[in-house]
Amino acid sequence: MYRDGSDFLSLISKLDKWYTGLPEQLELTPINAYAHREMNMLGAVVFLHMAYHGAIANLTRVSLNGFEFPLAGAFGAVPEQFRYECQTRCRYHSDQISSIIRLGLEHGARAFDDSLCHVAAFEATKVQIVHSSISQRGAGDREATEDCIRVNIELMKMKEGLPQGILVEEPQRLVAD
């Protein structure tokens, strides 16, 4: 798992390479967000960035104590430095999700068309809570964590306005067709 060329590191490397190769037009900056909104593609671009950061956070969160996954057992024998790097990477990508949410909230619900955005907010919050409880990042980390969590919750509350079951009904309708 921690050796160069492992499937785990190879997958993360491929995702990183893909993400850094995105065209400039797909970067999620405040200026680009306005352009994406005007072209009715902000939701798609937000989804793209959330999916990348969510994938890396999900892959690396098995390194955090407090999450029980089948792969977590494989982390029992990894060097502490590797575990620390995975934990740091997981937290970074979870915080990036919060940054994307913060930017998207300036543009309203249309920025979060895909339900993955709400799931990513929820998962990022769990990582931020667990990571802050096991890390030695200092006093400023608590405020940063609380800010991220507040932003994530703001997006999760937006989901509450959706009709009950909409996240289940739509996939079921597609499968039935």
**pLDDT given at position 121:** 93
Which residue, 47, 43, 56, is CA-closest to 11? 56
What is the average pLDDT score of the chain? 86
127 exposure class (CB count in 10 Å sphere: 0-12, 13-18, 19+): buried
Average pLDDT of 79-87? 93
- pLDDT tens sequence across 137-156: 666 788 899 999 999 999 98
Report pLDDT for 77: 84
Structure tokens at 81: 């430095």
What's this model's pTM, rounded to 2 decimal places? 0.86
